[in-house]
Structure 1
Amino acid sequence: MSGIWSSVCMVWLLTYRIERLLCGAVFWIGVFAVQLMLDFLAVL
């Protein structure tokens, strides 16, 4: 029983970490895009 729970916890932690990584990547890409847009508008 404990083995099943430990594997479930491992899978949950992995998926949770992957989701956080994806959210972080999307967030930083958005920040980068906003910076590029602001620089582009400043040049115009």
Structure 2
Amino acid sequence: MCGEVQVVKEETDRLVVLVLDGDPDPFLMVINLDALNQQHH
């Protein structure tokens, strides 16, 4: 998965990004940073 993304909003526990080359349309995606951090430990 590789595409052009643009960070719309950056918060302490999550990122809101816009996937510019989404299929079929660009879409917003919320990345929960807490969940990502838990996977690494």
Q: TM-score, normalised by structure 1?
A: 0.25
Query: Which protein has the larger Cα radius of gyration, Structure 1 or Structure 2?
Result: 1
More contact order relative to length (CA 8 Å, sep ≥ 6)? 2
Greater strand share, structure number:
2
